[in-house]
Structure 1
Amino acid sequence: MAELARSTVLVTGAGGRTGQIVYRKLKERSDRYVARGLVRTEESKGNIGGADDVFVGDIRDTSTIVPAIQGIDSLVILTSAVPKMKPGFDPTKGERPEFYFEDGAYPEQVDWIGQKNQIDAAKAAGVKHIVLVGSMGGTNPNHPLNRLGNGNILIWKRKAEQYLADSGIPYTIIRAGGLQDREGGIRELLVGKDDELLQTETKTISREDVAEVCIQALQVEEAKFKAFDLASKPEGVGTPTKDYKALFSHITARF
């Protein structure tokens, strides 16, 4: 049999906790993928190994991300604004922490304009598939996450998701539940829509599992033009998910 041509995949936000895992998993499957990463700083580049396939750029400035996007087949977007905790918080007094976003790094700039820039640059470069990782909770404008630092983060993420769905590029939108730093591949994954999973006991997911779903979405046709919420059953309940084609086939929602 002829050898399959390898697919070149760029992971943006590759310095983040989930992005690092996607980048690593792609590198481990070098028979199938040529991995690239995009990070914001030289320090982040060093943190994930500093290889030549990691580009440094700012998603708020399209010109800095074009070199990373040139010549790729697929794009996995894992960039996100990150709220910071205000100093001086004393949990012993029963205080609740307050959060803020740094100037220029609000969700509007990162999760909306930054993601729009990536989608536009990918479209211009002829990218064939975009996997976008968002968050559950976007159907509720009053979700507590929107109040963090007055950032309306889920509202801006949802706007970028809609922009991607309207772009004409084949897409997979993964709205992950609460992210946990736990081992992947050992739980039954659950897909849902419209935040229905938030009404259940199972609304978390390991970062490893999210990363695996991103990569499976790149290779399973049934994942294209789909948007879904993603969580998992507790470890030891149900059967660990291995058949991703079946998982994606359960999803009917385009947005």
Structure 2
Amino acid sequence: MKRILVTGATGRTGSLVVQKLRERPQEFDVVGFARSPQKAEQVFGSTEGFVFGDIGDRHSLDKAMNGCEGLVILTSAVPQVVAPPSEPGQRPTMGFAPGGEPEQVDYQGQVNQIEAAKAAGVQQVVLVGSMGGTDENHFLNSIGNGKILIWKRKAEQYLINSGLPYTIIRAGGLLDEPGGDRELWVGDDDHLLHQPPDGVNPSIPRADVAELVVQAFRETTARNRAFDVISNPQGPVTRDFAALFARTTPG
């Protein structure tokens, strides 16, 4: 049984990862890491199995990581409204709270997690990122001038260079829809984002991303792989995850 720490565990995707890992108690012992006990109580109905802290605090990360064999990184900077629309019909101005900028959260916060994982002897890190990181002009980078996708890619490279076994899942647009009933397509360098096959929307249910995380710990073909992933609602349902991971490009 592998002891797995999931950071960002009360988020919309993180909570699904915790749930899916808990459904395999013979394989995984799950520890959730989050900032707010109140949020954990709200999402899970209990704070059992959680450690609370901040990814900016190495001490709390070290405490949470103790005895863990796997780490799932699901933390991300979250845009918020910083100014209302100046005129009717316009969009509000979006940005990030002080200390919650992508450089601090998506880069330095992930570096802190990677270094804590190295110190704890973690055997595999699964990082959930985003497609679009090859395009500096992607609209997400303009939010608050935070360059969120650029910082995410820098963190990915830090993980690759760390020497830790890793799986990097760069998800397409995340959907709050049921999982387990779509064909999953993998690629790299944002090809699926810019030229999705057959005009399919480059998106994927959060539940399917969560399942990929779980399977990454179960299938050796997922080791040291970094890939983009989207879903096709019309194709045959993906069930052979070993084969799916094998179609990705090492490194």
Same fold flag (TM > 0.5):
yes
Instruction: Select the residue among 47, 50, 68 that pairs with 2:46.
Output: 50
Letter in 2 for 1:51: T
Letter in 1 for 2:209: V
C-alpha contact (below 8 Å) 2:82/2:96 kept by paired residues: no
Letter in 2 for 1:230: V
The CA deviation at 1:87 is 4.9
Structure 1 unaligned spans of 5+: 1-5
Instruction: Select the residue among 7, 14, 20 that pairs with 1:25.
Output: 20
Structure 2 unaligned spans of 5+: none
| Counterpart residue number, 2:110 | 115
> 1:133-148 residue pairs with structure 2 within 5 A?
133-148=128-143
Which deviates further from its counterpart, 36-45 or 170-179?
A: 36-45
Instruction: Select the residue among 131, 156, 178 that pairs with 1:161.
Output: 156
Distance 1:216 1:124 in 2: 25
| Counterpart residue number, 2:237 | 240
Runs of 4 or more, structure 1, over 4 Å off, are none
The CA deviation at 1:61 is 1.2
Letter in 1 for 2:47: A
The CA deviation at 1:78 is 0.3
Letter in 2 for 1:88: P
The CA deviation at 1:67 is 1.2
TM-score (normalised: structure 1): 0.93
| Counterpart residue number, 2:85 | 89
Letter in 2 for 1:134: G
Q: Percent identity?
A: 51
> 1:1-255 residue pairs with structure 2 within 5 A?
6-47=1-42, 48-89=44-85, 93-199=88-194, 200=196, 201-233=200-232, 235=233, 237-254=234-251
Alpha-carbon RMSD:
1.3
* Counterparts in 2 of 1:85 and 1:14: CA distance versus 1, 3 Å: same
Which deviates further from its counterpart, 129-138 or 39-48?
A: 39-48
SS at 1:242's partner residue? coil
1:138-196 CA-partner distances (Å, limit 9, x unpaired):
00111110001111100110010000000000000000000000000000001010000
- Equivalent residues, number: 246
